[in-house]
């Protein structure tokens, strides 16, 4: 396995059942015992049903995090991780940083990394070229610290923590040059001519910037202190200082505010980001973390070759049952007990497929083969999955391997199988406060082969009362479900565990005829009774698939 892999998601099918969830958690635990430097994380591809929720709570597990897609996201791309700059950063400091980082855009953030805005090199160039904006420092309330930093200057007198709160910038070569231009609160760039310095201070200058590193006389300093005028000494000549001083303004004065910026979440899909970039054509786009904080930026070039997500599939191997985007992910393993379907991989993978009643039965063998002890709580999960999938060993899909694994796991977990199974199935059958959609999705799968595509759902019940209540709830919902899932045919089984009989509700064109042909029973008003039928995988899907294929062939002839 490539050393670059750091995380692999272990995922069951959509509309997850107990086996799908318990297998994901159990296999992630087993894989994490290897110590190969990779973190294996169980994920769920849909909402939990009540049976599974009962199982997790019973054995002290939190439900796995939801994953709705494994398409590449920005966090899988080459994000340029850069720290945001503060809003008081000077234009000069921002320009210097851009040169160092070889970037033409920087993002402004607060102390909590919230995005405040962006500054681009064109914004700095625009500010630098606006030679008539002599009030920029006062209008933007520039700090003296910014001026000192930009001009490599020292504070001769005044408060370096102070703020320039007004005035304009003037160059004063002589008192006559200042003339009537000087107003109270102005900032004056002067040379070593003491007469000009004195004139500026006496006529209300707020700050003197003395160029060429000239040190003012004690008399001038005393006068400045008396009049409340700051003095700054810079090594730059008057021309350079005049060019640079406006670059002391804070970036907030020229930034594009956050509400006008197109930003992406790190969880945004690469495809969606590329579509947005194609429409807007900016160069850099900020990326925010899960808490909405700025973390870096991306360009269209960064999205050309994102890393694929690495996944292990459990309890399914068909594209129609897999999480969205599976064709864009790197499937590294498949552990399943169903027929081999249509998930394609880019290379050879470890594919463990066995004709048993439950995925966790296969995992039981894998724990043994890898000499890893099964903890009591993991054993409880695996037992629950086996009991659920085999209807407590009553299903025709149940094998002796399932029974042996179940009994051994019950001992490890300290569980009485009969009483626990009844409790688990009753929890799953409870309809209190549940919607038809919720019940429908607790165990529903789509099956396809060539032109044939249909869905089969199933619920298991211990009492006739709970089974009939579920039928009454779901019957009116089947049409909505078929439309939502875009299915021409839909079947839903209500299985009585103790009598080993299933009622099937039917929706779709020719549905009743298909059920009658497939099972040799009478169907009426969208319903049929299937004695001895409890297994969707073994007793329902194969005859339905064969019958529909046969019907299509007859009509083509």
The answer to whether the CB of 162 falls within 8 A of the CB of 144 is yes
Give the residue with greater pLDDT, 114 vs 347. Answer: 114
- In b/e form, how buried is each residue of 427-463, taking b as 16+ CB within 10 angstroms? bbbebeeeebeebbbbbbbbbbeeebbbbbbbbbbbe
Q: Where residue 133 falls among pLDDT bands split at 50, 70, 90?
A: confident
Percent of the chain exceeding pLDDT 90 equals 78
Residue 303: which H helix or E strand, with range?
none
27: burial class by Cβ within 10 Å (0-12, 13-18, 19+)? buried
Give pTM, 2 decimals: 0.69
* Virtual torsion, Cα 121, 124, 130, 133, nearest 10 deg: 160
Tell me the per-residue pLDDT of 212-261, one tens digit each, with 9 for 90 and over. Answer: 989 999 999 999 999 999 999 999 999 999 989 999 999 999 999 999 99
Instruction: Give residue for tokens 């006062």.
Output: 138
Q: What average pLDDT does this structure show over 410-428?
A: 95
Q: Which of 34-48, 67-81, 273-287, 365-379 has the highest average model confidence (pLDDT)?
A: 365-379
Q: What is the DSSP secondary-structure string of 95-113?
A: HHHHHHHT-SEEEEE-TT-
Give the pLDDT confidence score for residue 174 in this predicted structure.
86
Percent of the chain exceeding pLDDT 70 equals 99
Tell me the per-residue pLDDT of 38-66, one tens digit each, with 9 for 90 and over. Answer: 999 999 999 999 999 999 999 999 999 99
Q: Where residue 211 falls among pLDDT bands split at 50, 70, 90?
A: very high
Helix 18-32 × helix 376-389 angle, to 10°:
150
Q: Where residue 81 falls among pLDDT bands split at 50, 70, 90?
A: confident
Question: Which sequence spans correspond to the domains of the chain?
Answer: 7-72+308-428, 91-253, 436-556
Residue 548: which H helix or E strand, with range?
helix 541-556
- Tell me the two tokens of residue 91: 């234009």
Give the pLDDT confidence score for residue 442 in this predicted structure.
83
Give the pLDDT confidence score for residue 238 in this predicted structure.
92
Mean pLDDT, rounded, of the chain: 92
Q: CA-to-CA distance for 172 and 132, rounded, in angstroms?
A: 16
Class of the 7-72+308-428 domain? alpha beta
Q: Where residue 4 falls among pLDDT bands split at 50, 70, 90?
A: low
Q: Where residue 1 falls among pLDDT bands split at 50, 70, 90?
A: very low
Q: What average pLDDT does this structure show over 438-449?
A: 89
Taking residue 474's Cβ as centre, other Cβ atoms within 10 Å add up to: 20
Give the pLDDT confidence score for residue 3 in this predicted structure.
41
Give the pLDDT confidence score for residue 283 in this predicted structure.
84
- Separation of CA 430 from chain center: 33
Beta bridge partners of 313: 11, 334
Give the pLDDT confidence score for residue 51 in this predicted structure.
94
Residue 346 in this model has a pLDDT that exceeds 90: no
Q: CA-to-CA distance for 210 and 185, rounded, in angstroms?
A: 16
- Tell me the two tokens of residue 550: 């046969």
Instruction: Give residue for tokens 């552990």.
Output: 335
Q: CA-to-CA distance for 400 and 379, rounded, in angstroms?
A: 18
Determine if residue 327 is left, alpha or beta; phi over 0 gives left, psi from -120 to 50 gives alpha, anything else beta: alpha
Give the pLDDT confidence score for residue 35 in this predicted structure.
85
- Tell me the two tokens of residue 380: 């409880």
Tell me the per-residue pLDDT of 510-520, one tens digit each, with 9 for 90 and over. Answer: 999 999 999 99
Q: What average pLDDT does this structure show over 300-320?
A: 91
Q: What average pLDDT does this structure show over 380-407?
A: 95
Q: Where residue 185 falls among pLDDT bands split at 50, 70, 90?
A: very high
Q: Where residue 281 falls among pLDDT bands split at 50, 70, 90?
A: confident
Q: Is domain 91-253 in CATH 3.40.50.620, yes or no?
A: no
CATH superfamily of 436-556: DHHA2 domain (3.10.310.20)
């Amino acid at each position: 396995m490539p050393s670059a892999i750091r995380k692999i998601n272990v995922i069951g099918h959509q509309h997850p059942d107990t086996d799908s969830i318990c297998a994901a958690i159990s296999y992630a635990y087993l894989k994490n015992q290897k110590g190969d430097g990779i973190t294996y994380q169980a994920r769920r591809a849909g909402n939990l049903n009540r049976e599974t929720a009962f199982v997790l709570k019973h054995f002290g597990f939190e439900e796995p995090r939801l994953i709705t897609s494994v398409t590449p996201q920005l966090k899988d791309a080459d994000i340029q991780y850069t720290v945001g700059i503060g809003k008081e950063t000077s234009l000069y400091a921002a320009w210097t940083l851009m040169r160092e980082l070889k970037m033409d855009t920087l993002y402004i953030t607060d102390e909590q990394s919230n995005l405040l805005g962006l500054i681009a090199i064109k914004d700095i160039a625009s500010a630098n070229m606006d030679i008539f904006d002599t009030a920029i420092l006062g209008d933007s309330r520039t700090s003296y610290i910014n001026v000192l930093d930009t001009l490599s200057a020292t504070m001769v007198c005044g408060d370096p923590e102070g703020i320039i709160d007004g005035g304009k910038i003037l160059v004063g070569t002589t008192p006559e040059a200042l003339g009537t231009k000087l107003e109270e609160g102005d900032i004056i760039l002067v040379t070593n001519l003491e007469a000009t310095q004195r004139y500026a201070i006496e006529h209300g200058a707020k700050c003197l910037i003395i160029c060429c590193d000239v040190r003012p006389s004690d008399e001038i300093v005393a006068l400045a202190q008396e009049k409340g005028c700051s003095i700054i000494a810079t090594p730059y000549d008057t021309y350079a200082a005049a060019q640079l001083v406006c670059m002391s303004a804070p970036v907030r004065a020229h930034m594009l505010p956050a509400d006008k910026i197109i930003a992406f979440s790190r969880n945004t899909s690469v495809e969606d980001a590329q579509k947005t970039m194609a429409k807007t054509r900016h160069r850099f786009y900020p990326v925010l973390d899960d808490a909405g904080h700025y973390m870096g930026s991306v360009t269209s070039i960064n999205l050309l070759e994102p890393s694929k997500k690495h996944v292990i599939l459990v309890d399914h191997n068909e594209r129609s049952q897999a999480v969205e985007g599976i064709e864009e992910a790197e499937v590294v393993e498949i552990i399943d007990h169903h027929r081999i379907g249509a998930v394609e991989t880019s290379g050879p993978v470890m594919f463990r497929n066995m004709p048993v009643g439950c995925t966790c039965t296969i995992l039981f063998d894998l724990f043994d083969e890898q000499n890893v002890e099964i903890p009591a709580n993991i054993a409880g999960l695996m037992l629950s999955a086996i009991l659920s999938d085999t209807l407590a060993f009553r299903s025709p899909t149940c094998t002796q391997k399932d029974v042996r694994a179940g009994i051994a796991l019950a001992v490890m977990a300290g569980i009485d199988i009969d009483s626990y199974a009844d409790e688990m199935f009753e929890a799953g059958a409870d309809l209190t406060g549940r919607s038809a959609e919720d019940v429908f999705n607790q165990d529903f799968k789509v099956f396809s082969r060539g032109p044939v595509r249909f869905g089969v759902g199933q619920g298991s019940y211990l009492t006739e009362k709970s089974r009939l209540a579920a039928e009454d709830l779901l019957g009116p919902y089947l049409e909505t479900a078929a439309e939502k899932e875009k299915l021409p045919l839909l079947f839903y089984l209500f299985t009585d565990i103790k009598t080993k009989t299933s009622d099937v509700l039917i929706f779709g064109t020719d549905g009743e005829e298909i059920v009658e042909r497939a099972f040799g029973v009478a169907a009426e008003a969208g319903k049929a009774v299937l004695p001895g039928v409890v297994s969707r995988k073994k007793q329902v899907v194969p005859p339905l698939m064969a019958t529909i294929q046969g019907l299509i062939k007859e009509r083509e002839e």
